[in-house]
Structure 1
Amino acid sequence: MTTVDTKAIQAIDSAHYLHPFTDFKDLGTRGARVMTRAEDIYVWDSEGKRVLDAMSGLWCVNAGYGRKELAQAAYDQMMALPYYNSFFQTTNVPAATLAAKLASLAPRVGDRHFSHVFYSSSGSESNDSNVRMVRRYWDLMGQPQRKIIIGRTNGYHGSTMAGASLGGMSGMHAQGDLPIPNITHIGQPYFFEDGRPGESEEEFGIRAAGWLEEKILELGADKVAAFIAEPLQGAGGVIIPPSTYWGEIQRIVDKYGILLISDEVICAFGRLGHWFAYEKFGYKPDLVTFAKAVTSGYIPLGGVMVGNRVADVLIEKGGEFNHGYTYSGHPVACAVALANLEIMERENLVGRVRDDVGPYLAKKFQEVAAHPLVGLAETCGFVGGLVLVKDKASKQTFAPSLSVGMVCRGHCFGNGLIMRAVGDRMIIAPPLTMTHAQIDEMVALILHCLDLTREDVQARGWLA
């Protein structure tokens, strides 16, 4: 193993590398953690410390680290055809083959089926493509006034101008004059925060979905093009909608004839125990955004599954769709994706999440729910979230200014666990390859770090 001079790399990093979603001044005072290798569900830093990666990198390393088949697929394709564009009526074997494979994995729901794919390199680019495709669709349908796309507060759809606008992150909107025109938002289906006294979670789900109908009527149904949402909100803190939510959303979009975009950049490819999450929740999207786990994060690739309602119009009415990317259908990325999907099928990773490790994680999370610092702990498939609270009985939360979630995150990093903080919600999305023993190991680390956090905030006088 090659020895890394941590301080030298940190100095180079500080001098030249502007990191995403980072306070550059703050990072410059402490230095970035230098990661050097990974295997299975673990990563190692330059000091040799092993860390259990409970976030799969950034929600993406579903098949785990160290997959030699994926490196071999990239090498083989690079030696055969490392790159050629998909412009000018040209294709390549991996791009066409992967499109057919993805179409075969996307289940038909009612009258919706997915036979076509539009490629990008990321979820952000894919959602930019959705904006272009949705508006092109309505232009071809003779309703060019339908331009408005509705998203959700605290939703995340990327960090490009269009992606950040579609999302409802206030911190992102505060920079760059966002959102761009003709994008607006409704509230998120977060029962813990927005449920009324005496209201059941199912009743709240209906009420939260109703915010979409209220917004459509406010704007004018003839001006609304689409509604975009994650099946469950990822970067917003693993917000799992009530069971009644998506059925009511489907009723509303059907009633007003608007398109439905399912952003599954996080949720697709087994994360929730299905190839695509719309199947789990039983709704019928017109467009499905994907990225991340399609290659298990080994190489950038994203895209949009384009349903028959949209694809038929784009194809049959003709005319050039003036949109695309240099790397659309990149042959190396598509070859790696094909190899990754083959691993997932061979090892039945999707079925394991649905029938084995997902239920086991849910069972183990009951131990997390019992911790005195936890007001709520829940899982869905192979994601989980917990809320840190000041008082467990009343579920009183900490003042946001205390940043208790970041205190907990610090204890996690210091004790061999990567767990993400979203405010005072701590979230996980581990590799789908985890064994029961590794889930036990992860939960033990979580409980240990929660104990350390409780001791810390108690010493600071922050507990009730």
Structure 2
Amino acid sequence: MTKSETVTHSSVLHRDTRFVPKKAIGGKGSYIFLEDGTKFLDSTGGAAVSCLGHGHEEVSQAVIDQINKLPYCHTAFFGTEASEELATFLTESTGGKLSKLLVVNSGSEAVEAALKLARQYFVELPTPQLQRSRFIARKPSYHGVTLGALSVGGHMIRREPFEPILATNSSHVSPCYPYRGKKAGESDADYVARLAAELDAEFQRVGPENVCAFIAEPVVGAALGAVPALPGYFPAMKAICEKYGALFILDEIMCGMGRCGTLHAWEQEDVVPDIQTIGKGLGGGYAPVSGILISEKVVGALDKGTGVFRHGQTYQGHPIACAAALAVQKVIKRDNLLENVRNMGKYLEERLRGSLEQHPYVGDIRGKGLFWGIEFVKDKETKEPFSPDKGVAFLIQETGLKPEYGVSLYAANGTVDCMKGDHIILAPPYNISKEEIDIIVDTAVKVLDVVFAKVSAD
């Protein structure tokens, strides 16, 4: 949506009540077709969702086949072949390290389920630990918009209007954000050790016996702009959780399901979570679908206890969602697309660094696989961000949406302290070509030139 759109009547509550976005009328591959004739290169997959691009006929047919077979049944009464096949596929993809799958509809719902399951785990233990009700997350993390997910998230601007109704059982530690977090002369290992000490101190502050879980994104998405952790960071975090008996939750809604070059982002981190959230690339946008993968330790506690996860939703395990996700995952595996993510990810990195590393307003380029962020600064030496009133990131996004550019550049602000700081994310489809990456980078450079000519002149 661009702020230059003419306001027309719409009965939809759009994201901005004062503007009506252009209509998308079709899509094929990496492109979306708009009603005004624009052929729009979806270089962000929406919000890192469209991992196979648009109009994939095989996936579409799988959805149609499931609709014709059985569009819906309630999981309190029945199971389905689609849900069983998807669960088998995904649990086997973890090498059995995670043994059960719960399918819901959105990332926020998956995080809600993960938080509730973490709490219930301690309730179900042979000797219940009922005092465990706290969560530790990171600043300025984003884990979803529903009240539980928003409460555990650390993005202050997103939280601000709802603070009076948010839960107060979460606290936050620093992220692993080397560009801004490392001290001068500090080694990576010393920085990781300092972050581990901070988490340990937070456990001590709130009472280690009171903590249900620590939750973090392996590669931070919207809140920081594709920031991966340093080697050794997550093993250090998990060790502290194990030291105090808390669960270790990894939120892979945005960075998982192949986005970073392995199906699960934690495969690159030398850790296994107790609970993992998945979404976005799970179903590639062909149906609303997300889920949680659960370790046998957590499942076993329920098995030996009540046997019931006290969390049910009307549309959980929806047959169409499961069929779409299964079809997407089978295509990724059959077509060896994770290798393409790794190869094209390296090429995207090379092109971004070659074209933008010396740009006077580009502070940092970071990411993994086909998940890359660019952070913008007013001063490269001091890393001073632009003033929020400049709206740099969203000006870049809106400029990219203009027909003469026709490219998505996923924008966010608050990178530095939830108020100041601008970044964009690129997250193209897993089957993207070199030629399309060239178009993305070359067009992004043109957009940045136009935007910063204007920003520097103001």
Q: Does the TM-score normalized on the shorter chain lie above 0.5?
A: yes
Residue pair 1:186, 1:211 contacting (<8 A) in 2 also: yes
Work out whether 1:421 is the aligned partner of 2:416. Answer: no
Separation in 2, partners of 1:209, 1:456: 43
Residue pair 2:232, 2:269 contacting (<8 A) in 1 also: no
Work out whether 1:65 is the aligned partner of 2:54. Answer: yes
Question: How far is 1:392 from its partner?
Answer: 2.8
1:359-383 CA-to-partner distances (Å, cap 9, x unmatched) read: 1112112122122221111221111
Work out whether 1:299 is the aligned partner of 2:267. Answer: no
Provide the alpha-carbon RMSD of the alignment.
1.7
Which of 87, 112, 123 aligns to 2:76? It is 87
Aligned partner of residue 188 in structure 1, secondary structure: coil
Question: How far is 1:143 from its partner?
Answer: 0.5
1:67-91 CA-to-partner distances (Å, cap 9, x unmatched) read: 1112211111111111111104x21
Question: Which segments of 5 or more consecutive residues in structure 2 lack a partner in the other structure?
Answer: 414-421
Separation in 2, partners of 1:247, 1:452: 43
How many residues align structurally?
Answer: 439
Question: How far is 1:35 from its partner?
Answer: 1.6
Separation in 2, partners of 1:208, 1:46: 49
Matches for 1:20-35 after TM superposition, within 5 Å: 22-24=15-17, 28=18, 30-35=19-24
Separation in 2, partners of 1:11, 1:410: 19
- Give the partner amino acid of 1:267: C
- Give the partner amino acid of 1:103: T
Residue identity over aligned pairs, in percent, reads: 31
Q: 1:191 to 1:400 in 2, by over 3 A?
A: farther
Question: Which segments of 5 or more consecutive residues in structure 1 lack a partner in the other structure?
Answer: 1-6
1:254-293 CA-to-partner distances (Å, cap 9, x unmatched) read: 2112100111111222101111011111112100101111
What does residue 146 of structure 2 align with?
A: 160
What does residue 115 of structure 1 align with?
A: 99
Residue pair 1:165, 1:178 contacting (<8 A) in 2 also: no
What does residue 451 of structure 2 align with?
A: 453
Residue pair 2:112, 2:149 contacting (<8 A) in 1 also: yes
Which of 164, 174, 185 aligns to 1:198? It is 185
- Give the partner amino acid of 1:256: Y
Work out whether 1:365 is the aligned partner of 2:352. Answer: yes
Work out whether 1:432 is the aligned partner of 2:430. Answer: yes
What does residue 140 of structure 1 align with?
A: 124
1:332-389 CA-to-partner distances (Å, cap 9, x unmatched) read: 11111111111111211112212x1121112112122122221111221111111212
What does residue 56 of structure 1 align with?
A: 45
Work out whether 1:127 is the aligned partner of 2:111. Answer: yes
Question: How far is 1:178 from its partner?
Answer: 4.9
Q: 1:240 to 1:319 in 2, by over 3 A?
A: closer
Matches for 1:25-424 after TM superposition, within 5 Å: 28=18, 30-88=19-77, 90-107=78-95, 113-141=97-125, 142-176=128-162, 177-236=164-223, 237-354=225-342, 356-367=343-354, 368-414=356-402, 415-423=405-413, 424=422
- Give the partner amino acid of 1:300: P
Q: TM-score, normalised by structure 2?
A: 0.92
Question: How far is 1:193 from its partner?
Answer: 2.4
- Give the partner amino acid of 1:167: G
Q: 1:178 to 1:447 in 2, by over 3 A?
A: farther
Separation in 1, partners of 2:399, 2:188: 33
Aligned partner of residue 401 in structure 2, secondary structure: helix
Q: TM-score, normalised by structure 1?
A: 0.91
Residue pair 2:255, 2:371 contacting (<8 A) in 1 also: no
Separation in 2, partners of 1:178, 1:234: 25
